[in-house]
Amino acid sequence: MQPKLSICIPTYNRATEIIQTLDSITSQNILDIEVIILDNASTDNTIELINAYIINYSYIKLFQNEENIGPDGNFLKVTKFANGEYIWLLSSDDTIVSDGISYVLEQINSQNPELLLIGYNLCDYKMHVLRKACEFEVNDTVEVYDTLSRQGKSNFINKLNGWGTALGYLSNVVFCKKRWFINYRVGEQYVGTAFSFSAILLTMITDGCKLMYINLPIVNYRSDNDSFVKNPLKRWVFLILEGYFQLAKLIVDKELKDNFLIKVRGLVPAKAIIIVYAATEDRHLQRRDLLALLQKLGYSKIDTLVIKLLTLNFACNVINYLRKLKRGFS
């Protein structure tokens, strides 16, 4: 029998964390699912640990790449093994809260959305909950958008309130598999950006779809554990800003694109860019690229000038000193 939902987990060297991920799924005793894991040529004992679960849970299926194809390639390829009507991409270091799967299935069965975005808890590395991520400006537990109309698209963009749900977080997106594969080639064009799945998501929204947002923390997001981007400048500045700049190209309507970029500038303010840049060791190598990117994204001349001045080596050193001083008093 075809499962309703395929939980697709791309993984690489996550032996320490994937146990918690799988425990959070198997403990829920849900029948109408399958778990598809694609290992990206791990060099630790990830495979051994997963095989131990397969012995007891027949709905868990493991596939392996002969060589590492990069995170984006793995995000996309894992879905090719899915048999369900819906695909839930789940990071191999995150967890699903108790009864979270049954709640998602309930919404799928009652509403038949083509795209489902879900709330999440921001956790530290040890999975202690820090806070609920507030990614949308909504009051209801569940909201549905019809993005086939221009107004529907505008409503969605206007309610964005965080970069995670605003297309940047893997584990809080559930796709209708049919629509996912209609736009699969768009994702392939974004391999290397870490936003391949986001490109498919945004294309579905701009083409028009029934989108549902669940304003409940269904996933626990483990922070400080990016396995494919170690450098904080690359992660927070170039990865996020460049990713959003590339994604904005998918929005044809100029007014909608401008509104999207306004949201991006709000999600990644000048202050955050300056602090992250100051903490980066190789900042002098990429400053010119950063300033050019800010111009493309439409940051104001004042913000750009402030960033330009405060990302000079001397200013960065002063910022770092003051931040250390502040931590010493706290």
Mean pLDDT of 254-275: 80
Verify that 215 and 91 share a domain, yes or no. yes
Domain of residue 24, residue span: 5-222
**Which residue in the block uniquely carries the two structure tokens 């549905």?**
144
Residues 214, 299, single domain; the answer is no
Indicate whether 70 belongs to any domain. Answer: yes
Q: What is the pLDDT of residues 117-144, one digit of tens each?
A: 998 998 999 999 998 886 677 778 898 9
Asked if 112 and 203 sit in the same domain, the reply is yes
pLDDT for 147 equals 92
What is the number of domains present in the chain? 2
pLDDT averaged over every residue in the chain = 85
pLDDT of residue 232: 47
- More confident site: 259 or 35: 35
pLDDT at position 83 over 90? yes
88 contacts 180 by C-beta, under 8 angstroms: no
- 325: its two tokens: 């001083």
Query: Among 50-54, 224-228, 254-258, which is the least confidently predicted range?
Result: 224-228
Is residue 209 pLDDT above 80, yes or no? yes
- Residue 89 burial by CB count (10 A; 0-12/13-18/19+): exposed, middle or buried? buried
pLDDT of residue 319: 67
Same domain, 172 and 288: no
Q: What pLDDT sits at residue 296?
A: 81
186 and 302 co-located in one domain: no
Please state the rounded mean pLDDT for residues 177-190: 95
For residue 59, being part of any structural domain is answered with yes
pLDDT band of 325, cuts 50, 70, 90: low
Is the residue at 227 inside a domain?
no
Q: From the CB of residue 245, how many other CB atoms can be counted at a distance below 10 Å?
A: 18
Structure tokens given for 35: 């778990």
Are both 305 and 241 inside the same structural domain?
yes
Last residue of a domain, one of 203, 222, 241: 222
Residue with the two structure tokens 């995170």: 71
CA–CA distance, 30 with 8 (Å, rounded to integer): 15
CATH number of domain containing 165: 3.90.550.10
